[in-house]
Amino acid sequence: MIPHHHGPIWISTRSQDRTPDMLRIGLAHRKAVTPRKSCQQGGNPEAPQNVRRRRNRFVRANGTGNATLPQYFQRLQRTCERMRQQGRTRLIDRQKPAHSLMHVNAVTTRPGQQALHQNHDTIPNHRAHILGGRRTQPIAAQQFRTASRQIRQAVDQRPIQIENHDRRRISGVLHARALPFGRSCNIQQPEVTRTPFDVFLPVGYAMPIMSLTSPSSAKPTTAIVLAAGLGTRMRSTLPKALHPLGGRPMIQHLVDTAARVFDSVVIVIGPDMDALAKAIAPHATVVQHDRLGTAHAARMAEDLFGAGDVAILYADNPLITEHTMRQLLSCRAQPDTALAMLAMRPRNPAKYGRVITHGESVQRIVEFKEATAEEREVTLCNAGVICADASAFRTWLHAVKADNAQKEFYLTDVIAMAAAAGTVRYVEAPEDELAGINSRSELARAEATLQTRLRREAMENGVTMIAPETVFLRTDTVLAPDVLIEPNVVFGPCVHVGSGTTIRAFSHLEGCTVGQDCMIGPYARLRPGTICADRVHVGNFVELKAATMGEGAKANHLTYLGDASIGARTNVGAGTITCNYDGFFKHRTEIGTDVFIGSDSIIVAPVTIGDGATTAAGSTITASIAPDALALGRARQVNKDGRSKMLRDMLRARKEQG
């Protein structure tokens, strides 16, 4: 698709493709045609598009959808897959300018005519006109959402509703819902025609039919994250949203997930929360100066709701997955759905608000203290997350009253208003995703849930864990396939481990990179700035800090290497220390390739040891060593015969005398 004037157009990448099953869109047969209104074209049973569709048994002769929908669906899927395999769709990189994405065929006309333009003027050089002016703009969803007119030249008017376009992706695919043929996309379809068919297209491939989204589905979505709470039950001066989870502030988990689903994310914070605003930058923030309830907090951000759907999330629910958020938006997109919400069935419902339903619709939310005995038996509980149209949501928020003991405005009151205006539907999600964090014990429970999720993902990607429950990961830990992790290993932030490496028991890694086929530990500590090349051995009670180990280098026992570069195939003996700190400044040690460092060597930085050099065991190295040289930095040994017995006798006599 290329941005063409005021609307999008799909153009075939091969001008010779005119087979009946291609369903070409745009400038049919490279000839300009007279503009035609979409409703007229859709109502003509023998329009050129319907002829091609009927030839493929996609529609009947009268232009209505084929009664054998499963056969049509299967045939459409086979056609799309065959075209993709034959290269008859082009890969689109939305980060590149439009003119570099695909070849645009020149538009030919009858002799003596010029190419028609949708503005009814003539363009001498249509190809240059298409490519000019928008040369630097990338293909983006906003361009066709804001399009005010359609290309009038033989545009196929089959309505296609695209969900999860551009940023709205599910596991690397675009989810397209095809609607019946023969009608304009601007005509409301009867309920019977809404049966969806899921067509899964690889991300980046141009679907050979024009995507026409309805105005409602094209509006941007907004997520409002409520994070103004102090979290008094945490017993901390740190805002609750900044407490760490998986090595990073809990709110960052939620904001990062929401940013992959919604077009914009806005965070409502409290006064004097500059650290929180910095943690979630560059997302917009608004301040709730008076903490008067959740509905009041949502109202603080109403100017940033936008024109589409708006969802209310909570900073103390950081583990909601991308899949659940997309389910919430899909539920809201159902016909006649005024509001969609998330619900759960916790193992212990305790004092959660109960969701009272009638069939598949929600009637109201009943707080535990106000629920009857029968209502308390309901296991479906409110998770607090809701999604509604921005305009209606504004109206409901302003109608919420503070007629309760706390004199606060509660967001749950919106549910009853939405139920009166339309249908309220719910999406049921696991308790582990939706359980809130209000105390230290609940924070520990959330950490356990996150660790279980990270371990499962690592093992599914080819990592072996002997005792997974004893391995602790961070969200940015990168483990290649065929990595083996023994029990009781802790990964700090920013760790990358290459394929075939073994991390032995009781090791701690942080801010380091480990290559392929390495052996780390047991009881090893790799501190920030450490880089280990392939086939490096770091043994028990070895600590590396800002050190680089060349390919095949070894430090197997009781060693500290700080601010050092160790060359390939160098062996560092047990008890070696690089003295890198003089109390004021750090100094580096440079050790070349194929060097042998004797046990118990003390290397006082700054110093350089050349390739192939050797230091004798027990040496203190204070000066640089030339390549292939032997360095001895210890006192000369002197043996005195019989002196050991004399010393013992003298000391024994002294002890007996008292």
Tens-place pLDDT, residues 616-628: 999 999 999 999 9
Of the candidates 164, 297, 272, 271, the one whose C-alpha atom is nearest the C-alpha of residue 218 is 164
Question: Would the pLDDT of 139 be above 80?
Answer: no
For residues 92 and 540, the model is more confident at 540
**Pairing between β-strand 513-514 and β-strand 496-497 as defined by DSSP bridges:** parallel
pLDDT of residue 87: 54
Q: Determine the Cα–Cα distance for residues 41 and 34; give it in Å rounded to an integer.
A: 12
pLDDT band of 165, cuts 50, 70, 90: very low
Q: Quick one: CA dihedral 238, 242, 244, 250, positive or negative? A: positive
pLDDT band of 637, cuts 50, 70, 90: confident
Question: Would the pLDDT of 448 be above 80?
Answer: yes
Q: Determine the Cα–Cα distance for residues 616 and 639; give it in Å rounded to an integer.
A: 20
Find where tokens 């232009």 sit. 63
Contacts of 5 (CB under 8 A, 6+ apart): 117, 118, 119, 151
Find where tokens 């035609």 sit. 36
Q: What is the pTM of this model?
A: 0.64
- Catalytic residue flag (residue 165): no
Of the candidates 385, 238, 273, 244, the one whose C-alpha atom is nearest the C-alpha of residue 325 is 385
pLDDT of residue 258: 96
- Residues in the chain, overall count: 658
DSSP string, 607-652: EEE-TT-EE-TT-EE-S-B-TT-EE--SPPP---TTHHHHHHHHHH
Q: Is there a contact between 206 and 14 (Cβ–Cβ < 8 Å)?
A: no
pLDDT band of 351, cuts 50, 70, 90: confident
pLDDT of residue 560: 98
Lowest mean pLDDT among 398-412, 496-510, 548-562, 571-585: 398-412
Q: What is the pLDDT of residues 397-410, one digit of tens each?
A: 999 998 888 888 99
Most confident of 58-67, 320-329, 399-408, 430-439: 320-329
Q: Determine the Cα–Cα distance for residues 151 and 160; give it in Å rounded to an integer.
A: 16
Cβ burial of 432 (10 Å; 0-12, 13-18, 19+) is middle
pLDDT of residue 371: 85
Q: Quick one: CA dihedral 310, 312, 315, 321, positive or negative? A: negative
Q: Say what the alpha-carbon torsion angle 6, 12, 17, 20 is, to the nearest 10 degrees.
A: -60
Greatest Cα pair distance, the chain, in angstroms, is 130
Of the candidates 150, 195, 148, 142, the one whose C-alpha atom is nearest the C-alpha of residue 166 is 142
pLDDT band of 230, cuts 50, 70, 90: confident
pLDDT band of 229, cuts 50, 70, 90: confident
Which of the following is catalytic: 5, 496, 557, 587?
557
pLDDT band of 164, cuts 50, 70, 90: very low
Q: Determine the Cα–Cα distance for residues 505 and 541; give it in Å rounded to an integer.
A: 12
Cα–Cα distances (Å) from 260 to 96, 213, 326, 340, 581, in that order, read 20, 20, 10, 19, 45
What percentage of residues in the chain have a pLDDT greater than 70? 67
Average of pLDDT values for 108-118? 42
Lowest mean pLDDT among 163-172, 180-189, 296-305, 356-365: 180-189
For residues 70 and 135, the model is more confident at 70
* Helix axes of 250-259 and 322-332: crossing angle, nearest 10 degrees: 50
Question: Would the pLDDT of 57 be above 90?
Answer: no
For residues 25 and 464, the model is more confident at 464
**Pairing between β-strand 115-116 and β-strand 122-123 as defined by DSSP bridges:** antiparallel
For residues 544 and 101, the model is more confident at 544
Paired tokens of 216:
């409602």
Average of pLDDT values for 41-64? 46
Structural domains in the chain, CATH included, are 2-217 (no CATH), 222-434 (3.90.550.10), 452-631 (2.160.10.10)
Question: Would the pLDDT of 614 be above 70?
Answer: yes
Count how many Cα atoms sit within 13 Å of the Cα of residue 421 in the half-sphere of its side chain. 16
Average of pLDDT values for 545-554? 98
* 3-state secondary structure (DSSP) of residue 297: helix
Average pLDDT, rounded, for the chain? 76
pLDDT of residue 154: 36
Average of pLDDT values for 586-610? 97
Q: Is there a contact between 226 and 268 (Cβ–Cβ < 8 Å)?
A: yes
For residues 380 and 63, the model is more confident at 380
For residues 117 and 370, the model is more confident at 370
What percentage of residues in the chain have a pLDDT greater than 90? 57
Question: Would the pLDDT of 50 be above 70?
Answer: no
pLDDT band of 350, cuts 50, 70, 90: confident
Average of pLDDT values for 234-243? 91
AA letter at 231: G
Lowest mean pLDDT among 216-230, 442-456, 537-551: 216-230
Q: What is the pLDDT of residues 371-401, one digit of tens each?
A: 888 889 999 999 999 999 999 999 999 999 9
pLDDT of residue 418: 93
Q: Say what the alpha-carbon torsion angle 193, 197, 198, 204 is, to the nearest 10 degrees.
A: -80
Average of pLDDT values for 520-541? 98
Of the candidates 391, 323, 299, the one whose C-alpha atom is nearest the C-alpha of residue 169 is 323
pLDDT of residue 445: 94
pLDDT band of 207, cuts 50, 70, 90: very low
Average of pLDDT values for 506-516? 97
pLDDT of residue 150: 39
DSSP string, 401-454: ---STT----TTHHHHHHHHHSEEEEEE--HHHH----SHHHHHHHHHHHHHHH
- Peptide linkage before 430 cis (omega within 30 of 0): no
